[in-house]
Structure 1
Amino acid sequence: MDILQSVVNYILDLGAEVFVPALMIIIGLIVGMKVRNAFNAGIILGVAFIGMNLVIGFMLEAITPAAQALAELTGINLTAVDGGWTTAATITWAWPYAFLMFPIQLAINGIMLLFNWTKTLNVDLWNVWGKIFTAVLIMGITGNMYIAFVGASVVAVVELLLADLNQLQIEKVTGIPGVTVTHGMNILAVSLMPLDWVLRRIKLFNKKMDASALREKIGVFAENNVMGAIIGLLLGFAAGYSVADALILSMQAAAALTLFPMIAKLFMEALSPLSEAINEFMKKRFKGREMFIGLDWPILAGSNEVWVTIILTIPFTLLLSFILPGNEVLPFAGILNIGLAVPALIVTGGNLLRMLILSILGTPVFLYAATYFTDIITNLAESTNAVKIEEGQRLTWSTIEYPVIRYILTELGSLTILGISLAVIWVLLFIFYRQQMTKRNKELSITE
């Protein structure tokens, strides 16, 4: 068991920028790519991950302090400290049973591929920590490790099913054939779909409203660099920055929004030949079968709609945290809600107006989930000593990813009537989501 734990920890410590490209090189060679082409694609993919993570880090480093300054200007004192996803991940990996989820996820993916229950090969293995975190939350409520891993396994299955359903939409957004996203954050799309379905039936919200459409309507003000500069400047002034600091933030935001699409092209350069080779391999050996490559969410980070939505949602997030009864969380380290904007991108097809509305309407769910799970996260931090917290301090994650299904699984694990009822409702929502995405996929296939 110790050997397995050591192997898993070593692999995961390599990080996505090393592990995923290495895995893709191996897959490329297996499916018949020339050695030169396989290594070239793998290294470019590693460069793309590093480049995208650098720009995301740069963006977060620039925007987060402004958002936090905006929060501090209010003077509101809420009791739960927001440690963000990095703190949650640190605590998660300190859980004694964390390493077990790695082979469980591989087994689930292998079985589903074998029986043709999914078309997706999930190579985003670093984000196995999200399933472990789900297990931790369920364990904190039920006290039963077996139920915790069953719940985490449910998440792994749903990720693959959604990756299949979302693939064409993701291909449309990224321009990369044969890839999809297996990050658990997209599970929230199931809950967002009914809201988007209603909004699509209102003429105002059904107009083409992505970045390219805005560019056609308002010209230079919708260019990536100009739009980033304007948003950064306004956020800087709202946060109480001096003119000089606001201008610096303006240029930082402009740089990030300009660089995102450029780096996104590297993913296309790396993954397109690999995807073609995999599909040719599958056609020769398994007639009628195709395979998708499941990757982390940064392949969608080249969509400026995501970042515009995230930044514009910040003031609404803060306002809601102050006025929602029962909320105990002041968004801080996790104030940039990527886990809401990305599924909103997929559900809306990149419609900025609907993305913003879905993000505002979805924010209370995140705040209440963060409040609900605060004691569990705090207790785990104290028991593992992975994160030092002062006596009496309470720790949480304000933008806890896919909060709906995590809450349902904790209640279901306790076999409460509420949990069973919510699980039934969620399954019905999933069926509805599947119907809607299948319909969209047919339309996309026709237009292509």
Structure 2
Amino acid sequence: MGDIIKYILDMGAAVFLPIVMILIALGVKMKFKKAVVCGLTLGIAFTGMNVVLGFMFQSISPAATAFVNSTGIKLTTIDVGWAPVAAIAWAWPYALIIFPIQIGINVVMLALGWTNCLNVDMWNVWGKILTATLVAAITGSIVLAFIAAAIQVVLELKNADIVQKSVADLSKIHNITCPHVMNLEGVVLAPISKLLDQIPGVNKINLDSDKLKEKIGIFGENSVMGFIVGVLIAGIGQCSLKVILQTGVEIATALVLFPLVANLFLESLGPIAEAAGDYMKKRYKGREFCIGIDWSVMGGRSELWVTSILLVPVELILAIVLAKFGINSVLPLAAIINVAATVPALIITGGNIFKMFIMGVITTPIYLIVSSEFAPVLTNLAEVQHTLTIPQGQLLTYYGIEGPEFRWILTHAANVINGEFWGIGLLICFMGLFFWYVKFMKKKDIQMELKEQKD
């Protein structure tokens, strides 16, 4: 049975999630033809998003590598991205047990009214497995690994409720949300947003894509912004004129294609989410339900990609600076388009590029330091499991590790078994900040509602 489940999951989100969504659509009495079309469209949307994201990475990667090489700094830890790290997580002997843990917690919390999110994004269960794998490797305790995964499941579902209105507003799809661990970054970003709102002048700057177009005309168009940013990054990498211009056109292409692909999520998820919401409301009067799905539903927001690309030179410069201080060994590469940082910033700010960029600058060192610390553990796991082959003298990691603060705190809190009592203190502080974050987001939702009524 475990082999069958793993086989299906190995097909990837583009195959697995459409199957799940078709079954849900049929379960809520949607017509067979419409359910199948919506499900296939979702698969196409995921595939399209990954194709464009991969294309953009291939455009930026040579310039990024050239820039780092020109500094003469040697970074010994290679950022391999999420896929190889997911393979390491799946190789954990107890990986499939996380499935009933996630499903069981979700069912119980729905029944008790502790969440309104039905998380169908089972493919991303690997995020919980990764946390459990790290805890097991660091503490040597399988029980603590399961407890850590369960804590993550609970917080993801609670956070899914918290960000639901923002996700729906950004994606333009009602009755959906995003129960992804990356969005727990909001707990850290909310205080930063609050602080920025207290700074005179800074609190008046609100640059989303529409306002950019109003203020700077043609330079606010996705194609022109993409070209300019691509040219700047390739220029920083000291590339040839030919490569600089090619990079500019390729990044412009990606920024134009992202919103087109994102429309497919609207076409596929919109009808299913509406049908599921109506179905649940009939059976549980007075309750509002939503479907939990991957972050890609917000991929049509150009603010997400403009900020991610603008942060590329920042990531490279900070990687070099922190390496000189001995607290970073990572060369950001496979995850250099760090959506794990920009998606939660998009949710917190509502798409304010200026604030998103500042948040990215502040949190980039966290991603570098945490991914550096996890590198020896992940490398050892890959070697023991024979998952990946690592060149002698090098380490591997995942620079864009989602929710780095949460994962780092949780693993150290679990390591109380080995005497790291301070980790428990940090976890208590994180939970205290989480409750403040809940109030922050509720206030944000009220402001959104007042704005909608005014408009």
TM range (shorter): over 0.9
Distance (Å, rounded) in 2 between the aligned partners of 1:85 and 1:13: 14
Distance (Å, rounded) in 2 between the aligned partners of 1:357 and 1:228: 19
2:305 maps to which residue? 307
The answer to whether 1:436 aligns with 2:437 is: no
Map 1:170-319 onto structure 2 (within 5 A): 170-206=167-203, 207-319=205-317
Q: Is the 8 A contact 2:81 2:399 kept in 1?
A: yes
Secondary structure in structure 1 of the residue aligned to 2:291: strand
Q: Is the 8 A contact 2:14 2:47 kept in 1?
A: yes
1:410 maps to which residue? 411
1:74 maps to which residue? 71
Question: In percent, how many aligned pairs have the same letter?
Answer: 45
Distance (Å, rounded) in 2 between the aligned partners of 1:349 and 1:299: 15
Aligned-residue offset at 1:282: 1.7
1:389 maps to which residue? 390
2:135 maps to which residue? 138
1:95 maps to which residue? 92
The answer to whether 1:61 aligns with 2:62 is: no
Aligned-residue offset at 1:431: 0.6
**TM-score, normalised by the number of residues in structure 2:** 0.94
Aligned-residue offset at 1:160: 0.9
2:328 maps to which residue? 327
- CA RMSD of the aligned region, Å? 1.5
User: 1:344-390 CA deviation, whole Å, 9 max, x = no partner?
Assistant: 11111111111111101101111111121121111101101100012
Q: Is the 8 A contact 2:262 2:299 kept in 1?
A: yes
User: 1:243-273 CA deviation, whole Å, 9 max, x = no partner?
Assistant: 1111111111111100111111111112222
**Could you tell me which of 420, 425, 430 is aligned with 2:429?**
425
Distance (Å, rounded) in 1 between the aligned partners of 2:256 and 2:6: 36
Secondary structure in structure 2 of the residue aligned to 1:33: coil
Distance (Å, rounded) in 2 between the aligned partners of 1:318 and 1:390: 22
- Alignment-mate amino acid for residue 402 of structure 1: G
1:164 maps to which residue? 161
- Alignment-mate amino acid for residue 364 of structure 1: P
- Alignment-mate amino acid for residue 321 of structure 1: A
- Alignment-mate amino acid for residue 166 of structure 1: V
Distance (Å, rounded) in 2 between the aligned partners of 1:66 and 1:125: 35
Q: Is the 8 A contact 1:224 1:257 kept in 2?
A: yes
**TM-score, normalised by the number of residues in structure 1:** 0.96
Distance (Å, rounded) in 1 between the aligned partners of 2:428 and 2:173: 35
- Alignment-mate amino acid for residue 104 of structure 1: I
Secondary structure in structure 2 of the residue aligned to 1:137: helix
Q: Is the 8 A contact 1:329 1:370 kept in 2?
A: yes
Matched residues, number:
445
The answer to whether 1:111 aligns with 2:104 is: no
2:371 maps to which residue? 370
1:34 maps to which residue? 31
Aligned-residue offset at 1:285: 1.0
User: 1:296-326 CA deviation, whole Å, 9 max, x = no partner?
Assistant: 1111111111111111112221221222222
Q: Is the 8 A contact 1:85 1:397 kept in 2?
A: yes
Aligned-residue offset at 1:84: 2.2
Q: Is the 8 A contact 2:193 2:348 kept in 1?
A: yes
1:84 maps to which residue? 81
Distance (Å, rounded) in 2 between the aligned partners of 1:348 and 1:273: 27
Aligned-residue offset at 1:406: 0.9
Q: Structure 2 unaligned runs (5+)?
A: none
Q: Structure 1 unaligned runs (5+)?
A: none
Distance (Å, rounded) in 2 between the aligned partners of 1:392 and 1:34: 57
Distance (Å, rounded) in 2 between the aligned partners of 1:204 and 1:360: 19
Q: Is the 8 A contact 2:206 2:354 kept in 1?
A: no
Aligned-residue offset at 1:335: 2.2
Moved more, 191-200 or 92-101: 92-101
1:18 maps to which residue? 15
Aligned-residue offset at 1:181: 1.1
Q: Is the 8 A contact 1:82 1:395 kept in 2?
A: yes
Aligned-residue offset at 1:193: 0.9
Q: Is the 8 A contact 1:64 1:336 kept in 2?
A: no
Moved more, 68-77 or 139-148: 68-77
- Alignment-mate amino acid for residue 256 of structure 2: T
Moved more, 419-428 or 204-213: 204-213
User: 1:128-169 CA deviation, whole Å, 9 max, x = no partner?
Assistant: 111111111111211101101110111111111111110111
Q: Is the 8 A contact 1:377 1:395 kept in 2?
A: yes
1:357 maps to which residue? 358
Moved more, 395-404 or 200-209: 200-209
Distance (Å, rounded) in 2 between the aligned partners of 1:79 and 1:34: 54
